[in-house]
Amino acid sequence: MGRSGMNATAGVPIFEVGLLFLFFYFYAPEIICLSLTGVLQVANRQMGSMAFFTHHFCRGLSSSAVRSAVIKHVTIIGGGQMGAGIAQVAAATGHSVTLVDTCEDILKKAVKGIEGSLKRVVKKKYADKPEAGEEFIQKVLQNVSTSTDAGSAAQGSDLVLEAIVENLKIKQDLFGHLDKLAPAHTIFASNTSSLPISDIASSTDRQDRFGGLHFFNPVPMMKLVEVIGTSATSQETFDALFNFSKELGKTPVSCKDTPGFIVNRLLVPYIMEAIRLHERGECFCHGSKEDIDIAMKLGAGYPMGPFELSDYVGLDTMKFIMDGWSAKDPDNLLFTPSELLNKLVAEGKYGKKTGEGFYKYK
Ligand SMILES: CCCCCCC[C@H](O)CC(=O)SCCNC(=O)CCNC(=O)[C@H](O)C(C)(C)COP(=O)([O-])OP(=O)([O-])OC[C@H]1O[C@@H](n2cnc3c(N)ncnc32)[C@H](O)[C@@H]1OP(=O)([O-])[O-]
Ligand SMILES: NC(=O)c1ccc[n+]([C@@H]2O[C@H](COP(=O)([O-])OP(=O)(O)OC[C@H]3O[C@@H](n4cnc5c(N)ncnc54)[C@H](O)[C@@H]3O)[C@@H](O)[C@H]2O)c1
């Protein structure tokens, strides 16, 4: 048989195959891991719960498995304004996306919102070619599927990105659960506005494959993504998230895992000071929110004033941010809670999404 070690019955060159395996194991382990994960995922669907096996089998290869991770299949959890927006831009740039939320009604609304937003994009981008525009919309929508089962969606994903409610415990519970189900190579990321990424990641055993991807609202229009690495995030994971942001047509900036990263570190105190200014009635014409909005738009060149922007972001999200930060740093005057903000939220006035916040939208 000689050196090639050909198996006489099966006709398989065992020695060459062995060499090939060793080569990929040492130089391109991700190929082995992804192939095995793919095979096991097919088995998963056929045989029920193989996820546990997939997860633990590939774990040994995991630390190097994301060396040059390619993100193609994305699960986005939370189909609200941010999740739907991220799903839209990921699908529009050729990624296959599964959008997950708690019930079908929310998912239907999210897909309708994506379609509406795509129509606005197409109106500009394909102004002279409406048929090509319609074709583009259909193509993008075909890249989006929906699910109420985060666990099974995660099993086929290269990236799981959450955009659910701004609550540490709920985010930790979600990722702790998904960590047991997702393949080893899957990167986890959070779109949190204000929570430490390392705190969210601590509920998993994949802190090296965990980072932050902070998008801005409205996602289809806003060009920035803050990419956050913790002290445990591997360089490979960070690079994969950074490249993914570029693939989405965004401009990524690199951030440390510090409160508010870059933008919200500056934006939160600004918005809260505007609200306090209004509460104190210090401005010239009765300190009206309308005046403050006009002043900041015309005087500082902002596209929206602080009250318009608050209503756009969602007052519930703002309150989650403020409560979290003031609990952590109660003596910091920048994080003093606002009675007005708390009152509006208690009344269910969350801004544009509920029809009323600082302003009325009905
Ligand atoms: C206390 C805590 C506070 C901090 C909270 C932090 C939150 C978070 O973590 C960080 C953030 O996101 S911070 C927030 C960061 N975000 C900001 O700071 C946002 C600041 N605001 C802006 O940049 C602009 O006002 C907008 C771009 C929103 C709208 O543009 P505009 O010129 O004022 O007015 P327009 O007439 O409406 O739209 C014009 C055209 O734009 C297009 N288009 C718009 N929306 C679209 C969509 N969803 N889809 C597709 N396309 C969309 C469309 O072509 C439309 O034309 P159409 O004929 O109407 O279809
Ligand atoms: N609103 C903004 O401007 C903005 C900008 C950047 C980042 N963020 C962050 O993005 C996240 C989402 O914000 P949003 O404004 O899209 O909120 P949203 O209220 O519009 O949407 C949140 C969605 O998550 C769903 N959800 C909640 N818990 C869930 C769970 N366990 N599993 C599946 N789905 C769940 C809700 O049903 C809802 O549809 C927050 O962490 C927020 O801080 C918000």
At 290 the pLDDT is 94
In the chain, what are the domains?
A: 14-65 (no CATH), 73-256 (3.40.50.720), 264-354 (1.10.1040.10)
In the prediction, which pLDDT does 17 show?
A: 58
Q: Count of alpha carbons within 13 Å of 19, Cβ hemisphere only? A: 6
Of the residues 157, 191, 193, 194, only one is catalytic, namely: 193
User: What's the pTM?
Assistant: 0.85
Among 62, 190, 194, 226, which one carries the catalytic annotation?
Answer: 226
Catalytic annotation on 131?
no
**How much is the pLDDT for 41?**
42
Please report the ipTM that was assigned to this predicted complex: 0.98
76 Cβ below 6 A of ligand 1 = no
**Atom 7 in ligand 2: residue holding the nearest Cα:** 193
What pLDDT does 113 receive? 98
pLDDT tens sequence across 120-136: 999 999 999 999 999 99
Is position 264 annotated as part of the catalytic site?
A: yes
State whether the beta carbon of 124 lies less than 6 angstroms from ligand 1: yes
**What is the spatial distance between Cα 243 and Cα 239, in angstroms, rounded to a whole number?**
6
Q: Is 83 labelled a binding residue? A: yes
Tens digits of pLDDT across the chain (362 residues): 233 333 434 445 666 656 665 555 555 544 444 444 444 343 443 433 444 344 334 433 444 444 447 999 999 999 999 999 999 999 999 999 999 999 999 999 999 999 999 999 999 999 999 999 999 999 999 999 999 999 999 999 999 999 999 999 999 999 999 999 999 999 999 999 999 999 999 999 999 999 999 999 999 999 999 999 999 999 999 999 999 999 999 999 999 999 999 999 999 999 999 999 999 887 665 568 999 999 999 999 999 999 999 999 999 999 999 999 999 999 999 899 999 999 999 999 999 999 999 999 97
Alpha carbons 207 and 187: distance in angstroms, whole number: 9
Q: Is 143 annotated as a binding residue?
A: no
pLDDT for residue 69: 78
223 is known to lie in a ligand binding site: no
